[in-house]
Amino acid sequence: MSNKIRKTLSNHQSPIHKSPWRGWTRWVTSWMLIQSLLIATPSWGQNNKEPKNEEITYSQLLRKIESGQVSKVQIDPKLQKAKVTFKNQEKKEAPEEVPIFNSQFNRELITKLRDNDIPVEIRPSADNSAAIGLVTNLVVLFLLLSILIAIVRRSAQASGQAMSFGKSRARFQMEAKTGITFEDVAGIDEAKEELQEVVTFLKEAEKFTAIGARIPKGVLLVGPPGTGKTLLAKAIAGEAAVPFFSISGSEFVEMFVGVGASRVRDLFKKAKENAPCLIFIDEIDAVGRQRGVGYGGGNDEREQTLNQLLTEMDGFEGNRGIIVIAATNRPDVLDKALLRPGRFDRQVIVDYPDFKGRQGILEVHARDKKVATEVSLETIARRTPGFTGADLANVLNEAAIFTARRRKEAITMEEINDAIDRVVAGMEGTPLVDSKSKRLIAYHEIGHALVGTLSEGHDPVEKVTLIPRGQAKGLTWFTPDEDYGLVTRNQLLARIAGLLGGRVAEEVIFGEDEVTTGAGNDIEKITYLARQMVTRFGMSPLGLVALENDNDDPYANPEYSTEIASQIDEEVRSIVNYCYDQAQSIIEDNRVIIDRLVDILIDQETIEGEEFRQLLGKLPVPVAQSSVISLVK
């Protein structure tokens, strides 16, 4: 076998077969070498002081003895040194040390000393080699024992993790003190009422059982992100004086087969021991997806976990006194067996808050903030349609940050308006200098605002600005007067015309060769709205036929023929062309007004909606009557 093959095999060898003591053997060998060095110098550290004077040689010592300069000599046979005291040195000075090498020199030296009547003393150094060797061995043994204990503890911890691998990771509290109650939840009164009934059932179950009612097994919270589903669960935990388990759906799923099902069993086992209790599963769509639609087949780990969850919620044994509350923003992907009564008896819709709901949410989040007296929460609620509870909380938080940055004592409407702009469009950028690009952007934004204002059914203008935010160089915002539940065909056409106003203004003012890429996002929205009108809302000559839906797989083949597909494209183009003609008519009829509005916008950089409508009424050139039209085809 070649060296290259041996090297390859050694590199691919499993780390389990490598000796774990190879490195420790080298380390122990090094310690033994240090020990031998320490033993070889038994009195090391005792006589390591350097003499103050220069050392004299052995021959010089003999001459000094003969000349009578030496008064006393002390010989250390172990260190092979002689400590010499001279007659002319002071008492505080240390004796001179003279190296001697063998016993022959010792006999010669002693003879010389006796012949000259000089006192001599033989004093060997203490032998500390045994003590040093014992201490060194104890240190080595202590280190080895520490390493052994660390290895044993690590292996015990690993085995403990392996034993608890299938146990539930749910956070358990006998009385969950989240600091949140139903008083802190606003804007979702219907959902709060449903869940208050669940809490009452847990606290006073005899009220319902006396007339034959049974406790609901599960409540599914369904709604868009940020509408307050998890906040509701925290409020339930704060209100109900019962044990509370909380876990995320993703914590059931592991790469090892059977672990998710084992954790489900362990979770419900703990819940049965503490019944009556609540189990909250956040993002249940991570584990509750429809079975049989994945590529893993029937033995998929996710499906096994879901099967175990279905059995625990409504199986042979049943779970008395356990209420499962789950939250998801994707109910369409959940398995049908999970949604049926007996498992999730109730589905509570947590939708976007209406005007009163937004006002209540703002009141809740404004409690712990210093808000100026002139701030109207009603005005903020009217300006924020479509905002979720999380968005409104973020608005007030951004307003508080602006207030602190500007060193003000309380939040004013200026900070709140800036916070809404930042949440909607992003961080404010550097204003553009007065140039051709700035004037072109101004015409684009005035085109949006003018066409939207003069189109019947369009939302009123909230603000027109040339201050960049995010990736947009300029912005025009429209805010509805009321929350729309349904949208008419006339309103959809007006929205498409308003979106086309910017591109049409560029073409009318600067010509087709000078149009920019600024309308890219507008064209995407226009195409989407027009296609929705044709394929979903039945607002085209194709009739009342649903050809597409929001849940269609983008990679799936359409369920209609190629002829229908071409007709859909023709109808979409027809709607867009119709709205384009209407926008072009408005721009051309109000050409002089547009120039004046652009000059004002460039000078002020921002025009509020009310000011914009007042300018339209005050300008000397009247608005053409033909431009105020109804966009009904």
Question: What tens digit of pLDDT does each residue of 556-579 get?
Answer: 667 788 899 999 999 999 999 999
Q: Which of 217, 207, 277, 216 is nearest to 242 (CA)?
A: 277
> Is pLDDT of 497 > 50?
yes
Beta strands in 339-451, from DSSP E residues, in sequence order: 346-349
Burial zone of 198 (CB within 10 Å; 0-12 exposed, 13-18 middle, 19+ buried)? buried
Measure the CA–CA gap between 380 and 359, rounded to whole angstroms.
Answer: 8
**Average pLDDT for residues 77-81, to the nearest whole number?**
73
Beta strands in 448-555, from DSSP E residues, in sequence order: 461-465, 475-478
- CATH code for the structural domain at 355-424: 1.10.8.60
Q: Which of 171, 328, 168, 165 is nearest to 237 (CA)?
A: 171
Token pair of 325, please? 């509350």
> Is pLDDT of 238 > 50?
yes
Q: Which of 370, 152, 350, 167 is nearest to 252 (CA)?
A: 167
Query: How confident is the prediction for the chain on average, in pLDDT?
Result: 78
Amino acid present at 247: I
User: What are 245's strand-pairing partners?
Assistant: 172, 279
Under a CB-based contact definition with an 8 Å cutoff, are residues 323 and 212 in contact?
A: no
- pTM summary value: 0.65
- CATH code for the structural domain at 436-627: 1.20.58.760
The residues assigned a catalytic role are 445
**Average pLDDT for residues 587-608, to the nearest whole number?**
90
> Is pLDDT of 582 > 90?
yes
Under a CB-based contact definition with an 8 Å cutoff, are residues 294 and 333 in contact?
A: no
Q: Quote the percentage of the chain above a pLDDT of 90.
A: 20
If you ran DSSP here, which 8-state letter would residue 296 be given? S
Q: Which of 266, 590, 297 is nearest to 449 (CA)?
A: 590
Q: Which of 310, 381, 318 is nearest to 339 (CA)?
A: 310
Token pair of 425, please? 């469009």
Measured CA angle at 190 (ends 185, 193), to 5 deg: 70
Under a CB-based contact definition with an 8 Å cutoff, are residues 391 and 352 in contact?
A: no
Q: How many CB atoms lie within 10 A of CB 336?
A: 8
> Is pLDDT of 73 > 70?
yes
**Average pLDDT for residues 289-305, to the nearest whole number?**
65
Count Cα atoms within 13 angstroms, Cβ side, for 33: 6
Protein fold of 171-349 = Rossmann fold (3.40.50)
* Positive/negative CA dihedral, 105, 110, 111, 117: positive
Specify the pLDDT at position 126: 64
* pLDDT class of 6 with cuts at 50, 70, 90: very low
Under a CB-based contact definition with an 8 Å cutoff, are residues 343 and 337 in contact?
A: yes
CA distances from 19 to 140, 343, 354 (A): 20, 54, 69
* pLDDT class of 443 with cuts at 50, 70, 90: very high
* Positive/negative CA dihedral, 24, 25, 30, 35: positive
Under a CB-based contact definition with an 8 Å cutoff, are residues 240 and 274 in contact?
A: no
Which residues neighbour 549 within 8 Å (Cβ) at sequence distance 6 or greater?
Answer: 536
Measure the CA–CA gap between 254 and 520, rounded to whole angstroms.
Answer: 43
Which residues neighbour 184 within 8 Å (Cβ) at sequence distance 6 or greater?
Answer: 231, 235, 364
Q: The domain at 58-122 falls in which architecture? A: 2-Layer Sandwich (3.30)
Token pair of 296, please? 């893993």
Q: Determine the 3-state secondary structure of 187 from DSSP.
A: coil
Note the pLDDT tens digit of each residue in 306-355: 888 888 887 666 667 788 889 998 888 888 888 888 888 888 888 888 88
Under a CB-based contact definition with an 8 Å cutoff, are residues 301 and 254 in contact?
A: yes
Segments making up each domain of the chain, as ranges:
21-46+126-163, 58-122, 171-349, 355-424, 436-627
Token pair 């038994």 in the structure block, residue? 42
Please indicate whether the domains covering 58-122 and 436-627 agree at the CATH topology level: no
User: What are 160's strand-pairing partners?
Assistant: none
Measure the CA–CA gap between 383 and 462, rounded to whole angstroms.
Answer: 8
Q: What is the CA radius of gyration of the chain?
A: 44
- Strands 81-86 and 96-99 come out as antiparallel
> Is pLDDT of 50 > 60?
no
The DSSP-derived string for 13-30 is S-GGGS-TTHHHHHHHHH
